[in-house]
Structure 1
């Protein structure tokens, strides 16, 4: 099976996805707990749990990117070990 994206793009997407999952998970936990810094003002969201659900959906999307990009990176590693010529 041939990779769909380049090696650099696959590993960059992998690293960005890891950081996005960490940061968004922390934000989701804070919104779920109705942290006053995030839901305390007049212009802030009224229901932190609804916002947390949306943030956790974004975490799931980034988890999908993480799996896809990680598999693409592994395909590049497998190709390079077989002696394929990189263009």
Structure 2
């Protein structure tokens, strides 16, 4: 199998996905626990559990991106181990 995206794009996607998963997981956990920093003012959402579910669905999407881009990076790594000549 040949990679579809470039090696730089694959690694950039991995880094962004990991960062997004960590940050969104913390934000979702704060909404899930009804933490006062997320739900303590008048402008905050009325249903923090629904917001947490939406944020966690974004975490799942970023996890799928992480798996897909990780597979692309693996394909690049495997292609380079074979000694194939790359034309960029």
Secondary structure in 2 matching 1:5: coil
Q: 2:47 maps to which residue? A: 47
Distance 1:46 1:35 in 2: 13
Q: How many corresponding residue pairs?
A: 87
- Which structure 2 residue ranges, 5 or more long, are not aligned? none
- Which structure 1 residue ranges, 5 or more long, are not aligned? none
Measured on the aligned residues, the alpha-carbon RMSD in Å equals 0.7
Deviations along 1:64-85, whole A, 9 cap, x unmatched?
A: 0000000000000000011112
Q: 1:22 maps to which residue? A: 22
Deviations along 1:44-74, whole A, 9 cap, x unmatched?
A: 1111100000000000000000000000000
TM-score (norm 1): 0.97
Structure 1 residue runs of 4 or more that deviate by more than 3 Å after TM superposition = none
TM-score (norm 2): 0.96
